[in-house]
Chain A
Amino acid sequence: MSSPHTGAETGALQSPPAVQVADLHKAFGDLEVLKGISLSANTGDVVAIIGGSGSGKSTMLRCINMLEMPTRGAISIKGETIEMKPDGRHGLQPANAKQLRRIRTRLAMVFQSFNLWQHMTVLGNIIEAPVHVMGVPRDEAIARAEKLLDRVGLSDKRDVYPAFLSGGQQQRAAIARALAVEPEVMLFDEPTSALDPELVGEVLAVIADLAREGRTMLLVTHEMKFAREVANHVVFLADGVIEEQGPPDVVYSAPKSERLQKFLATVQ
């Protein structure tokens, strides 16, 4: 009964979920963006998070690696709960900076606006966290980075600075940077929203490839068709709560809530 994991309903032999979010709240001042979200993803799950703009889906994702501090709730990665303490202003703050940094290296985020470090080459971006955060020997990190570059189809861009790449290439480089830390969970925050339409495909192809190999991923996206193809679980967020969730076929073909029906009608 007394499990060390917060609210995790894991059996003794089952491994803890890769990501467990419990009763997550987030407010910006008086504006409550997340109103109690609970969500769990097992290893190998691809969870697509959909919803209209302002539904809180990006905020939720950013709370998982604490780029936004939740105002309430708990987050565990592989059974390890991120330590938080009250910040004295009705919110929370990290209680253990070291633990948070260690957990962050096991999550890898791919941003809407790529956020590659512009003063480093593509290779420099990819080896940065392994070498300077995780302490991987440089030549080992380079060897691994070259494999990753090959995988995302950017071998010839190894020594190029991000500003000289197209959006699609930058995002693929950012995905290689994410893979370089060998993450347990990948967090995709609208990875194709900033791309020109003709560049979306090349990025989605890389993400689909990762989904197929069994990566655990949380994917905030507007690409409904793509979400349906790659995800094994779809979460529909509206107004800061999970309005509906389930396997993609059920959620897409037989939406129960009126809001989801409306949402699907407007985007399809």
Chain B
Amino acid sequence: MGPELRSWKEPHRLVLIAIGIGIIVFAAVNMRWDWLPRYSWRLVEGVGTTLWLLVLTSVLGFLLAVPLGLAQAAGPWLLAAPARAFCTVIRGTPLLLQLWLLYYGLGSLFAQYPEIRESWAWPYLRQAWPYGVLALTMSFAGYEGEVMRGAFAGVPKGELEAARAYGMSPLTSFRRIWLPRAIHRALPTLAGETVLQLKATPLVATITVVDVYAIISRVRQDTYLTYEPLLLLALIYMMLTGVLVLAFRWLEAKVPVKS
């Protein structure tokens, strides 16, 4: 991708902008939007749910991905094998299946044990969102564990050697050199994967978590409209994606890479 602050006044961009405005005007004039005010607040809440699901599961998933990647890249067999198995299973099965296994499987299993039903955790475990968070976190961890494995392995040995030669302890070397260097290498992939994670979040609507997709489904049921709510949903996801892409580009630009 080119430099981001290129002028929008170039001819082809002006044409694109014109087409975009045309579509919006057409949609505004020829379609039904009278339901929008009634649902606006719920939509905002839905976007909020989608966003915190995305942020929480990406952050938690990444925190898990670091040890998963490290174990596979440099760990002893005893750690590497389970890490590899986890990543393989997660990446080899549909997220929807994982989500349902956790929610319908684990969720109903928990309910059978009075110890769990009477514990402090039950008020949370009887809700749907913890299973959504768990499934999305594990999914992100599985994919990103693989990405981080490659990123850790790809950091030039010489740079780690230099860290040792200058007296760094294994921990300092990891914290100052290996991890930041690996993250930097993985950043372009992480950006794409985070966008995919955003687009995986609506699956939680299938286990009754009310995200923005669930709100739009509700609108469709209430109004019998098809295109309008779905178009709005597409627009919302595209805008969220745009924000994510810009945020990652800003992060990547902090350490420039020679092209």
Q: A residues engaging B (CB < 8 A)?
A: 65, 67, 97, 101-102, 104-105, 107-109, 111, 113-119, 128-129, 132-134, 161, 163-164, 177, 181
Q: A65 to B256: give the CA distance in the assembly, Å.
A: 32
The number of chain B residues with a CB under 8 A from chain A is 22
Given the complex, which residues of A lie within 8 Å of B181, measured CB to CB?
Answer: 117-119
Cβ contact within 8 Å between A128 and B176: yes
Given the complex, which residues of B lie within 8 Å of A161, measured CB to CB?
Answer: 255-256, 258
Given the complex, which residues of B lie within 8 Å of A67, measured CB to CB?
Answer: 161, 164-165
Q: Which of A107, A118, A133 contacts B168 (CB 8 A)?
A: A133
Q: Tally of A-B residue pairs with Cβ under 8 A?
A: 70
Cβ contact within 8 Å between A133 and B255: no
A–B Cβ pairs within 8 angstroms, 27 of them:
A65-B165, A67-B165, A104-B165, A104-B166, A105-B166, A105-B167, A107-B165, A115-B161, A116-B159, A116-B162, A117-B163, A117-B177, A117-B181, A119-B177, A128-B176, A129-B166, A129-B167, A132-B176, A133-B167, A133-B168, A133-B172, A134-B167, A161-B255, A163-B256, A163-B257, A164-B258, A181-B166
- Which residue of chain A has the shortest Cβ distance to B163 in the bound complex? A117
Q: How far, in Å, is B48 (CB) from chain A's closest CB?
A: 34
Q: Which of B158, B169, B255, B257 contacts A97 (CB 8 A)?
A: B169
Given the complex, which residues of A lie within 8 Å of B162, measured CB to CB?
Answer: 109, 111, 115-117
Given the complex, which residues of A lie within 8 Å of B184, measured CB to CB?
Answer: 119
Q: Is B20 an interface residue (CB 8 A)?
A: no
Given the complex, which residues of B lie within 8 Å of A119, measured CB to CB?
Answer: 177, 180-181, 184, 255
Cβ contact within 8 Å between A101 and B168: yes
Q: A181 to B158: give the CA distance in the assembly, Å.
A: 19
Q: A42 to B111: give the CA distance in the assembly, Å.
A: 76
Q: Is B188 an interface residue (CB 8 A)?
A: no
